[in-house]
Amino acid sequence: MIIQKVGIIGAGTMGNGIAQACAVAGIPVVMVDISEAAVAKGIATVSGSLDRLLKKEKITEADKAAALAKIQGSTHYEDLKQADLVIEAATENQDLKVKILKQLDGMLAPDVIIASNTSSISITQLAAVTSRADRFIGMHFFNPVPMMALVEIIRGLQTSEETHDAVHALATALGKTPITVKNAPGFVVNRILVPMINEALFVLSEGLATPDDIDAGMKLGCNQPIGPLALADMIGLDVCLAVMEVYLKEFGDSKYRPCPLLKELVAAGRLGRKTGHGVYQY
């Protein structure tokens, strides 16, 4: 199976990033969200991202125009019916994802593949709420999608070889480097990364060092391009908390206990860059 058109649920950070990656690769995409304003904001974000590439002379005006022409914004799920693959990129909330997946499953043709961009929720469990578990897969992109080369392709227990191969080929066509992983909470990258971020917040809450010094230590001592606290703000502290809560629930191991400071920041609405204030102020 060759994926020639992609549908995306969600025009937020991940959704519009995936849309841009598809469009730049010449693959038509339909990006759906609940309101016209959300869709317009998503397309404007893509346009701004392409403008930055244009300024750096990495693309031309013609390239930008061609990419934007490949993106169709919509508030109607019916517009996804022509897609060969629909990627769910909604908020990291299991109940919401299940609701969306059931709606998609009921309206899409039986041979359409559904993928979830979840960063922590079980692909096997999500697949089980559909009637096409063999054509369900995890496709975990990383933020910012246009810049990050990695895509984790997560096989649920039921995922077929044909589905895996089609999605793997698409990821390669997008210019990404896919890695295939088994289904488990957090998969591979976030299983390692988010507990590290959580530990950095414990270090901060214990007053061992300032945020700047913690991040400088990890950048200079471990050759990381961005410190864990700045990265937490980029990811979203609410997302980090949600992931840690999934780990604690699924593994039942206290080492995955979310840092109280992380919970406090989220409760205060300090979610990171998207709210202008997280560990750092923006």
The yes-or-no answer on residue 168 being catalytic is no
3-state secondary structure of 231: helix
Q: At a CB cut-off of 8 Å and minimum separation 6, what does 25 contact?
A: 173, 174, 175
The yes-or-no answer on residue 36 being catalytic is no
Which is catalytic among the residues 117, 140, 183, 198? 140
206-211, long-range: CB within 8 Å, 24+ apart, which pairs?
A: 211/279, 211/280
3-state secondary structure of 270: coil
3-state secondary structure of 74: strand
Distance from C-alpha of 20 to C-alpha of 146, rounded to nearest angstrom: 7
Q: At a CB cut-off of 8 Å and minimum separation 6, what does 41 contact?
A: 11
Which is catalytic among the residues 16, 152, 183, 198? 152
Residues forming beta bridges with residue 29, ordered by sequence position? 6, 71
Q: Which helix (H) or strand (E) holds 137?
A: strand 136-141
The yes-or-no answer on residue 190 being catalytic is yes
The yes-or-no answer on residue 119 being catalytic is yes
What tokens appear for 142 in the block? 């990383």
Q: Are 160 and 144 spatial neighbours (Cβ–Cβ below 8 Å)?
A: no
208, 213, 214, 218 alpha-carbon torsion, rounded to 10°: -140
Which is catalytic among the residues 119, 122, 183, 198? 119
Residue type, 192: I
Tokens 């200079």 found at: 220
Q: How far apart are the first and last CA of the chain?
A: 45
Catalytic residues, which ones?
Answer: 119, 140, 152, 190
